[in-house]
Amino acid sequence: MSQFQPSRELPFAPLEGSRIAEPYRDEDLLADALSNWLGCQPEPPPSLLSFSTVGYSDREKALEDFLAGLAWEAKRLPRSEEERQGALDRLFQGFSRLALSALGWEQRQLDYVQTQGFMAVAMQFSREAQRTRPGIPGAEIFQAGRNVWAMNSLQALLGQSVRLTPAIFSYSMLYPATDNLLDNPKRSSLAKRAFQERFRRRLEGTLTPPANEVEKDIFSLVAGIEGQYPRALYPQVFSSLLMIHRRQGESIRLQSGQPLSEAEVLSLSLGKGGASVLADGILVAGTLTPAWERLTYRLGGFLQLLDDLEDLIEDRRGRRLTVFTQAAAKGLLDSQSGKLLAFGGLIAEEMGWLAPPSARPLQELMAMTLPLLVANAAGSAKRSHSAAFLRHLEVAVPFRFSTLRKMGSRLKSLRGSLFRLIEAISIP
């Protein structure tokens, strides 16, 4: 395991002689992602899994047992290191049974995830988050931890060892912190815009004084990235962070209420998502080859569109523009969801070409998982898809859509307890 030990108060890195970063110009990457999306035919890719309808009952029983185990652990919060380790062991054993008996995993793939250190890094991150920010809510640890998992996956796919680095820790903590500040209803729009300007200058390399303790923590996280990647040697790192800042600012138009064309909405969505995962890759490696730039950008765009499909109901209520809310206003989403399946299939195929042989089990798992995520998201929006399309998708997921909706509601009811479990397990 990595010996990374961030200090309680990450100091500002010295900026003497550092050059102001220029925003990453990602127009070519966006054009490439747009071309790939528009070229996708709305048909499921050949790699889509097929689960036998005969085994639904057994697989759904395995899912029920796993959720019951989660609920049991959430009611018995560990209080000692021995109890925390016991809870972790039971949770991993429960997931292993679910993965092997219901999700289509093979033992070698499960062994890969365990031996490469993914779980150990997740625990290390959770404890570092608690140590550097005592009292951090479990929901924030979970939110940031998802990005750690994504960046660890990129480490493996790029041929690196899976570990927690200062840049991974700082970047994964950074955007929950900025999102929470910008989502705070007690802060005025003027104060939020002023923060965004100070944050941009800090990302550029200007030693900008923070306006309050929250900003001090945020700027210190930027310094954590600077500590691993000196600006003069790794300009691409900070250029990618500025690209995210720019794309997030542009994506506000999706919630502004102004009319936008379908092409504009697609570009804003792919740009925002692409910038995020491209930055993940650059913060993992310091720089990326053109082929990996294209792949990570497309993957980010795919994940953004997947989120938009998952959030269809909430986005329509909130009148937020996405590819899927626009399409749903005109009719069924079969075509758009089918294109998303094909888009994910292209990404998984290219990942197989670029990833080293050592990461083959992970690439296989991602190729399995991407279509499952789309199928699940489409199944949760059944009123916006035809019955024939959903029947075609249902054989590609291990559980009936009705079961997934029921289990999803159950998980929502457990969220508070599960976040408290994360907090308890993460105590240093």
Structure confidence at residue 49 (pLDDT): 59
Cβ burial, residue 276 (10 Å; 0-12/13-18/19+): buried
Percent pLDDT > 70 in the chain is 92
Q: 185 falls in which pLDDT band (50, 70, 90)? A: confident
Residue 2 has pLDDT above 70, yes or no: no
Whether residue 361 is predicted with pLDDT greater than 90 in this model: the reply is: yes
Domain boundaries, the chain: 29-49+104-397
Average pLDDT over residues 341-359: 94
Confidence grade of residue 14 (pLDDT, cut at 50, 70, 90): very low
What predicted TM-score, i.e. pTM, was given to this entire model?
A: 0.90
Buried b (16+ CB within 10 A) or exposed e, 253-274: ebeeeeebeeeebbbbbbbbbb
For every residue of the chain, which 3-state class applies, written as one string? CCCCCCCCCCCCCCCCCCCCCCCCCCHHHHHHHHHHHHHCCCCCCCCCCCCCHHHHHHHHHHHHHHHHHHHHHHHCCCCCHHHHHHHHHHHHHHHHHHHHHCCCCCHHHHHHHHHCCHHHHHHHHHHHHHHHCCCCCHHHHHHHHHHHHHHHHHHHHCCCCCCCCHHHHHHHHHHHHHHHHHHCCCCCHHHHHHHHHHHHHHHHCCCCCCCCHHHHHHHHHHHHHHHHCCCCCCHHHHHHHHHHHHHHHHHHHHHCCCCCCHHHHHHHHHHHHHHHHHHHHHHHHCCCCHHHHHHHHHHHHHHHHHHHHHCHHHHHHCCCCCHHHHHHCCCCCHHHHHHHHHHHHHHHHHHHHHCCHHHHHHHHHHHHHHHHHHHHHHHHCHHHCCHHHHHHHHCCCCCCHHHHHHHHHHHHHHHHHHHHHHHHHHCC
How confident is the model at residue 404, as a pLDDT?
Answer: 87
Interval 57-70: pLDDT, tens: 999 999 999 999 99
- State both tokens at 276: 């995020």
Q: Is the pLDDT at 210 greater than 60, yes or no? A: yes
pLDDT digits (tens, 9 = 90+) for 67-116: 999 999 999 999 999 999 999 999 999 999 999 999 989 999 999 999 99
Q: Provide the angle, in degrees to the nearest 10, between the axes of the packed helices 360-380 and 138-157.
A: 130
Q: What is the mean pLDDT of residues 370-379?
A: 90
Nearest to 237 by CA among 14, 30, 21, 19: 21
- Quote the CA–CA distance of 126 and 121 in Å, as a whole number: 8
CATH architecture of 29-49+104-397: Orthogonal Bundle (1.10)
Measured at the alpha carbon of residue 287, what is the angle toward residues 3 and 170, in degrees to the nearest 5? 40
pLDDT in tens, 238-282: 999 999 988 888 888 888 677 899 999 999 999 999 999 999 999
At residue 53, the pLDDT reads 66
Give pLDDT, residue 330.
93
What pLDDT is recorded for position 23? 63
Q: How far apart are CA 267 and CA 321, in angstroms?
A: 12
Using one digit for the tens of pLDDT, what is the confidence trace for 138-167? 888 999 999 999 999 999 999 999 999 999
What average pLDDT does the structure give for the chain? Answer: 88
